[in-house]
Amino acid sequence: MAVKIRLARRGRKKAAMYDIVVADSRSPRDGRFIEKLGTYNPLTNPATINFDADKAFDWLMKGAQPTDTVRAMLSYRGVLFRKHLQLGVIKGAITQDVADQRFTQWLDEKNAKIESKRTNVGSAKDEARKQQLAAETKVREARAEALRQKQAVATAPAAEAEAEGAEAPAENAEEANA
């Protein structure tokens, strides 16, 4: 029996989520499976990949073949690298301690990269929001200034007429006092 590690679709239309499953290669995509390893959500940024790496590693060592997409996920999480190191241990090229040390070192570096990407995405969104707010404030201030100038132009003739009207009675009052 040929065993594959593949994705099984679930979720509603245009909001797909996937289960990472071990299944017989002859069974349908969303049909029977042997074991569920985890989930994959491509709608988040970065995509959320949650699965049991130890179970996936065991299935790979037993001969299960991952599909292309699942192979990329396993590589991203280091399961294929771990398999590579374990094959080196089996052949006698390296010891188990060296393999474990190399894997933990790689895993620490990878987790740091993932975390930095996650924080960069968040800070980029915040920066874009701040720039948009600054641009909106600038436009609002320009509109307010244009409105003030328009009102100043409209009220200037009326103010001049009032000033002339106020000066005339003042002159008449001065003539009357004289």
Strands 65-66 and 48-51, how do they pair? unpaired
Enumerate the domain spans of the chain. Answer: 3-94, 96-157
**Residue 85 neighbours by CB distance under 10 Å:** 21
pLDDT score of 167: 61
Fold observed for domain 3-94: S16 Ribosomal Protein; Chain: A; (3.30.1320)
Q: Which amino acid is at 61?
A: M
The pTM (predicted TM-score) of the whole model is 0.63
Q: If pLDDT is split at 50, 70 and 90, which confidence band does 174 have?
A: low
> Residue holding tokens 């289960």?
19
27-84 pLDDT, tens digit per residue, is 888 888 899 999 999 998 778 899 999 999 999 999 999 999 999 999 988 999 999 9
104-156 pLDDT, tens digit per residue, is 999 999 989 888 888 887 777 788 888 888 889 999 999 988 888 888 888 87
49 φ, ψ (degrees, to nearest 5): -125, 110
Give CA torsion, residues 26, 31, 32, 38, to 10 deg. Answer: 110
Contact 34, 98 (CB under 8 A): no
